[in-house]
């Protein structure tokens, strides 16, 4: 029995009402010095579901891998890599959406000075945004937990294909399975029981892990320090598509609020930061396209 990590949040008492008026966001972006904190909601229009939204992974009873489970069980690692091997097909085919492109355009114009993304899909960088900090790492890289060697995910993909020549046939029966925000898909046990993992080629025996921060794992302190520095230098913090349920993102909203820096949130549904911010409840792609249209000169 897999244990679901504690990932839900329920508001206590009444929250400040949300708005559908983008004028505060437009004014803040026009003034510049904005640091964006983005979450899974920014990638839903690219076909990658969020965790907690109406059609999110948790609504489908998805239980994400935890760090403790991954390092403590060979069976867990087999399950993760088998599911990730199939999920990678969908992740690799995802493309930046209008929201990603709007953030990139605002950054190129110098109005957004930094992006802290909680997403591991690489889509914000693919859209061309500079100065992106991947708070939770990236699915595009693999690391060895023993020797620290790093690999491109595509390199591991080829090794796993060779080690599991029959997996494509098995995976084909589940090709329509929906990808999760953490890059895997839900597969039955019989589909992964014979999957073979591979070891690090640098040290020969090391355990390979995606270079992402699993639930239950800490964000590297040096990465947190970079994010804190960005927040310290921000004129406004703009949260996009995040419920701020987990502390890794919420702490930066709290940091900004404590220093008197305005926090604006664009998210459909309440967030854990609503009492510290002004929230606009609109679909992100539409909202960001509208903001970019009002702020940027015509191309």
299 is in an annotated binding site: no
Residue that is written with structure tokens 């760090």 in the block = 67
* Measured CA distances, 204 to 37, 85, 144, 197, 201 (Å): 39, 21, 10, 13, 5
Burial class (CB in 10 A: 0-12, 13-18, 19+), 205: exposed
- For residues 210 and 80, give the distance between their C-alpha atoms in angstroms, rounded to a whole number: 10
242 is in an annotated binding site: yes
- For residues 112 and 116, give the distance between their C-alpha atoms in angstroms, rounded to a whole number: 11
103 is in an annotated binding site: no
Residue that is written with structure tokens 């802290």 in the block = 116
227 is in an annotated binding site: no
26 is in an annotated binding site: no
216 is in an annotated binding site: no
State the virtual CA torsion across 38, 43, 48, 53 in degrees, nearest 10. Answer: 60
Phi, psi of 58 (to 5 degrees): -70, -25
- Is residue 100 annotated as part of the catalytic site, yes or no? no
Helix (H, G, I), strand (E, B) or coil at 179: strand
47 is in an annotated binding site: no
**Catalytic-role residue among 55, 62, 100, 136:** 136
- Token pair of 145 as six digits: 């937990």
* Measured CA distances, 274 to 25, 78, 270, 280 (Å): 15, 39, 7, 10
90 is in an annotated binding site: no
- Partner residues linked to 114 by β-bridges: 35
- Token pair of 135 as six digits: 């708070």
243 is in an annotated binding site: yes
180 is in an annotated binding site: no
- For residues 64 and 186, give the distance between their C-alpha atoms in angstroms, rounded to a whole number: 10
119 is in an annotated binding site: yes
**Catalytic residue IDs:** 136
Instruction: List binding-site positions for NAD(+).
Output: 118-121, 241-243, 267-269, 284
Instruction: List binding-site positions for Zn(2+).
Output: 144, 147, 200, 203
Instruction: List binding-site positions.
Output: 118-121, 144, 147, 200, 203, 241-243, 267-269, 284
């Amino acid at each position: 029995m897999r244990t679901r990590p504690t990932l839900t949040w329920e508001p206590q008492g009444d929250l400040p009402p949300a708005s559908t008026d983008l004028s505060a966001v437009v004014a803040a972006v026009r003034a510049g010095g904005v640091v964006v904190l983005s979450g899974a909601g920014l990638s839903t229009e690219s076909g990658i579901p969020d965790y907690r939204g109406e059609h999110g992974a948790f609504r489908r009873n998805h239980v994400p891998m935890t760090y403790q489970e991954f390092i403590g069980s060979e069976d867990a690692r087999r399950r993760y890599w088998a599911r990730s091997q199939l999920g990678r097909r969908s992740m690799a085919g995802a493309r930046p959406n209008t929201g990603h492109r709007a953030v990139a355009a605002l950054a190129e114009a110098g109005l957004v000075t930094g992006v802290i993304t909680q997403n591991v899909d690489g889509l914000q960088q693919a859209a061309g945004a500079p100065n992106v900090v991947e708070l939770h790492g990236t699915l595009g890289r693999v690391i060895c937990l023993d020797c620290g060697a790093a690999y491109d995910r595509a390199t591991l993909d080829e090794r796993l294909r060779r080690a599991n020549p029959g997996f494509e046939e098995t995976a084909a029966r589940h090709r329509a399975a929906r990808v999760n925000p953490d890059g895997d898909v839900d597969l039955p046990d019989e589909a992964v029981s014979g999957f073979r993992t591979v070891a690090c080629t640098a040290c020969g025996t090391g355990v390979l892990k995606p270079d992402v921060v699993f639930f239950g794992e800490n964000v590297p302190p040096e990465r947190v320090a970079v994010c804190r520095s960005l927040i310290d230098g921000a004129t406004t913090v703009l949260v996009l598509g995040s419920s701020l349920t987990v502390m890794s993102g919420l702490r930066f909203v709290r940091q900004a609020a404590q220093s008197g820096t305005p926090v604006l949130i664009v998210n459909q549904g309440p967030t854990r930061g609503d009492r510290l911010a002004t929230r606009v409840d609109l679909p992100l792609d539409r909202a960001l396209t509208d903001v970019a249209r009002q702020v940027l000169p015509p191309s």
